[in-house]
Amino acid sequence: MKNKFLISICLLIPSMFFAQQALIGTIKDKNNPKKNSGIFGANVYWLHTSVGVTTDQKGEFKIPYKKEYQKLVISFVGYKSDTITVNSLTPVRHYLTESNTLEEVAVSAKKSSTQRSYLQTQNLVTINSDELLKAACCNLSESFETNPSIDVNFSDALTGTKQIQMLGLTSPYLLITQENIPSIRGAAQVFGLTFTPGTWVESIQITKGAGSVVNGFESISGQINTELVKPSTNHKFYLNVYGAVGGRLELNTHFNQKVSEKWQTGLYVHGNYRGEKFDKNNDNFLDNPLAEQINVMNRWQYTNAEKGWVSFINFRYLDDSKQVGEINFNPEVDKGSSTVWGSEIKTKRFDTSLKIGYVFPEMPFQNMGFQADYSNHKQDSYFGLRDYNIQHQSFYSNFIFSSIIGDTRNKFKTGVSFTYDKYEEFVSTVMNPNFDRKENSIGTFFEYAYDNADNLSVTAGLRLDHHNLLGTFVTPRLHMRYVPWGRGVLRASVGRGKRSANIFAENQQLFASSRAIIIENAGGNIYGLDPEVAWNYGVSFLQGYKFFGRKGDVTFDFYQTNFSNQVVVDWENPQEISFYNLEGKSIANSFQVEMNQNIIPYFNTRFSYKFYDVSADYKSGNLAKALQAKHRFFANVSYETKKEESDASWKFDVTYNWIGEQRLPNTNNQLPKYSDSYNLLNTQITKVFSKKFEVYAGAENITNYKQKNPILGSDNPFGANFDTTIIYAPVFGSNFYAGLRFKID
C-alpha cells in the first residue's frame, strides 16, 4: 500500500511539474508588426529535441519547458529561421524576417575575396569588394589587376587607357554588363571601363567562355558583370580620397538614405582631376593626359519583401574630358594648327535604367524580372587634324520569367528582349565622313538548367533574334558541370556569338597616327563589312585540396575561339590601317593554370601561368596577333594581421606580372620584330584604424619599367611616320599614391 502511494506520488509530481512548466509566446511578421494576427503555422521547437509545436491562427504557441532546454528554434517557410535563448518562462514575443530570395542572388558571400565557384555550371569567378580594395585605384578598368583571368593592356601611348582582355581577345568580344544590363558597348567600348568609379562596384562576376543566352547574343569570349553598391546595403556615408605623385586626384562620396519603409535612395558622386604636365621620357609629349571627370549617380531602391517585389531605378550623368599631345599644346590657340600636335576627347553620357523583380510569395522558385535601360553617349574629339565624333543612343529591354519543371532540379528561364541602337558617327580624312546607322533587334530565349542536386548540372540555352542588319539567326549555348570526385569540378562549354564591329570606336587609337584609313567594302551592312561570328569552346578543371591542413585549389582552363567571320584590323602596313572581312582562319587558343594556396591564416598566395596562341589570316599571310604576349606569369601575395577588438588591422598586398615578348607590327625597322619581356610589380599597404576609418598607400610599377619609344615619329607629329598605337609596356613608369576611406553606417 505504502509502495503504491509512493509510486503515485512519484508519478504525480513530475506530471504536475510538467504541467506548470510551459513557455508561451507569440510569433509575428517583422515587416508587418502592427498586424494583430501573428504567423499561423510557424514551427516552434527546442533545439536538438523532438519537442515542438506549431503556432495557432493568432500566432500564439504553448510549448513544454524543461530546464535543460535553452535554445528555441522558430521557423516558417519563406522566413529566416531564428534560434533564441530562453532562460526563464517570460512569454516570448518574436518577429520573423522574410527571407528575400532576390537579394540572396545579388549579394555574394564574403568568405573569400575571390571565389571560384564549385556549384555554378558556368566557369565563374566572383571578385568582391575586399579584393577590389587590394588595388586602390580607381575605376573598373583597374579593378582586374589582382585577377589573372583578365589581362590588362594599354590601348595607346597618349591616353594610357587600360584595355582588358580575356582568352586573348580584347574587350569588344566580351559582354560587359552592369547588373545584367549590357553597358559597355558601341561608342563606350574603349573608355567605358574608366567611366565606372571603383567605389561604386560592389562585386564583379567573370564568366569565361560562352555566356548565358539571357543577356543577348553578343558575348563571344566571356562575360563580365558588375554589381553596383545598393542603397540598402551600402554605408550611410562613405568618403574616399586618393592622390598620386603622378598628379592624379580622385574623390568619391556616397550618401545612402532610407526614405520610407520601402524606399531607399543613394547618391554617389565621383570626381577626378589631373592637371600636372609630365614628360619624363623627353619626347615632347605628355606622358599622361590632362583629365577631368564628374560622374554622378542616383539610385532608388524599392523593397517589399512581403509581396515579393524589388525594384531599382538609376540615373547617371558623366562628363569627362581629356587633353593629350605635345606638352606645350594649348587647345584654345593650337586647335586645328599644323605646328603643335594636340588632341582633346570630350565625352558626355546620360544613363537611366529600371529594374523590377518579383518573386511569387508562395513559390520561391518562380520569379519574373524586367529590365530597361536608355543611354545617350556623345563623344566629340580631335586628334591633331583628324576629327572623330560619335553619338550613340541606345535602348535595351529584357523580360525574364523563370520557374521550374516538376521540381527544382529542372529550372528554366525564358523571355523576350528588344534593343535599339542609333549611331551618328563622323570621321574626317575619309572619303565619305558620315557613318550613321540604326540597329534594332527583337529576340526570344529559352534556357533550361538541369541539376541533379549532386554531381551533374547542365545549362542549355537557345535564342532566336531578328536584327535589321545581322539578319535572323539562332544563338545556341551549352554549359556543363560534373563532379567526378570530392572538390573536383569539370566544366565544359560551347557557344556561338555574333556582333557588329564598331571599327572606329573600338580602334580609336588609330586616329593618333598618320595611318591612312582603308575599309575594304564588301557590300556588307556595317561599314560595308559583315558581322562577326565566332564559336567558343572550353574545358576547365578545378580541384580543391588541403596541403598540410591548408586550403588550396588549382584550376586548368583551355579555351578556343574560332571565328567564321571577323573584321580583321590590319596594322601591318606602317602607313595604313585597314579593315576587311576575314578570309581564312582566325583562332584564339588560351591555356591557363591558376593556383590559390593559403599558407598560414590570413596569408594567401595566387599564382598563374597563361599561354595564348592567337593568330589570323591577314592579307600578308597568317600572323600571330600583334601586341599579344604568348606567355604571361602572375603572382599575388596578400597578408592581413588579425583584427583587433577595435577592428584595427594591417593589410599587405603584392602583385607581380611577367609579360613575355610580343610581336610588333611592321614599322619599317623603326622597332624590332619582337618586344622585350618585362616585369611589373605593384604593392599596397592598408592600415585599418577602426570600422570607420582606414588609410592606404601603394606603389605601381616599382621597378620603373617604361617602353623606350612609345611614340614613333614624335619629332614630326604631322609627318608620315607619326604613330602612337604601338604600345606593349607602360609609358609612365613608377607611380606612388595614398588615400583614405571613411565610412559611417
Partner 1 sequence: MKNIFLLAVVLLVSTSAFAQKKNAKVSFEVDGVCMMCKQRIEKAALKTKGVKYAKWDVNTHELSLIIDERKTNTEVVKKTIAGVGHDTKDFKAPKEAYDNLHECCKYRDEQVKEDHKKPKK
Residues that bind partner 1 (CB under 8 A): 43, 45, 47, 50, 52, 73, 75-78, 81, 83, 362-365, 404, 406-409, 452-454
Shortest approach of partner 1 to residue 478 CB, angstroms?
A: 23
Q: Which is nearer to partner 1, 72 or 166 (CB)?
A: 72
Please state the φ and ψ torsions of residue 171, each to the nearest 5 degrees.
-55, -30
Shortest approach of partner 1 to residue 529 CB, angstroms?
A: 50
Bridge-partner residues for 640, per DSSP? Answer: 651
Q: Which is nearer to partner 1, 43 or 414 (CB)?
A: 43
In angstroms, the CA 527 to CA 469 distance is 11
Chain centroid offset of residue 262 CA: 28
SS3 assignment for 436-498: EEEEEEEEEEEEEEEECCCCEEEEEEEEEEEECCCEEEEEEEEEEEECCCCCEEEEEEEEEEE
Q: Which is nearer to partner 1, 32 or 452 (CB)?
A: 452
Shortest approach of partner 1 to residue 360 CB, angstroms?
A: 9
Q: Which is nearer to partner 1, 523 or 549 (CB)?
A: 549
Bridge-partner residues for 317, per DSSP? Answer: 296, 350
Q: Which is nearer to partner 1, 43 or 667 (CB)?
A: 43
In angstroms, the CA 577 to CA 272 distance is 33
329-335: Cβ within 8 A, 24+ apart: 335/382
Q: Which is nearer to partner 1, 73 or 430 (CB)?
A: 73
Cα dihedral 110, 111, 116, 121 sign = negative
CB 221 within 8 A of CB 166: yes
Q: Which is nearer to partner 1, 101 or 161 (CB)?
A: 101
Shortest approach of partner 1 to residue 600 CB, angstroms?
A: 12
Shortest approach of partner 1 to residue 450 CB, angstroms?
A: 12
Shortest approach of partner 1 to residue 130 CB, angstroms?
A: 18
Shortest approach of partner 1 to residue 398 CB, angstroms?
A: 26
Say which DSSP state 578 is in: E
Shortest approach of partner 1 to residue 42 CB, angstroms?
A: 9
Shortest approach of partner 1 to residue 307 CB, angstroms?
A: 16
CB 470 within 8 A of CB 463: no
Shortest approach of partner 1 to residue 453 CB, angstroms?
A: 4
Q: Which is nearer to partner 1, 73 or 738 (CB)?
A: 73
Place of cell 569565361: 208
Using DSSP's 3-state secondary structure scheme, residue 627 falls into coil
Shortest approach of partner 1 to residue 650 CB, angstroms?
A: 21
Phi-psi region of 645 (alpha: psi -120 to 50; beta: other; left: phi over 0): alpha
Q: Which three cell numbers stand for residue 475?
A: 544563338
Kind of pairing between the strands at 649-659 and 631-640 = antiparallel
Amino acid at 359: V
- The angle at the Cα of 576, spanning 571 to 578, to the nearest 5 degrees, equals 65
Place of cell 505504502: 2
Shortest approach of partner 1 to residue 74 CB, angstroms?
A: 9
Q: Which three cell numbers stand for residue 676?
A: 622585350
H runs (alpha helix) in 183-304: none
Kind of pairing between the strands at 222-228 and 174-178 = parallel
In angstroms, the CA 556 to CA 568 distance is 30
In angstroms, the CA 406 to CA 408 distance is 7
Q: Which is nearer to partner 1, 102 or 711 (CB)?
A: 102
Q: Which is nearer to partner 1, 455 or 721 (CB)?
A: 455
Shortest approach of partner 1 to residue 404 CB, angstroms?
A: 6
Q: Which is nearer to partner 1, 76 or 341 (CB)?
A: 76
Q: Which is nearer to partner 1, 43 or 391 (CB)?
A: 43
Shortest approach of partner 1 to residue 243 CB, angstroms?
A: 39
Per-residue b or e along 177-215, where b marks 16 or more CB atoms closer than 10 Å to that residue's CB: bbbbbbbbbbbbbbbbbbbbbbbbbbbbbbbbbbbbbbb
Q: Which is nearer to partner 1, 429 or 597 (CB)?
A: 597
655-660: Cβ within 8 A, 24+ apart: 655/134, 655/135, 655/145, 655/146, 655/681, 655/682, 655/683, 656/680, 656/681, 657/632, 657/633, 657/681, 658/632, 658/633, 658/634, 659/629, 659/632, 659/728, 659/729, 660/629, 660/630, 660/631, 660/632
Q: Which is nearer to partner 1, 74 or 680 (CB)?
A: 74
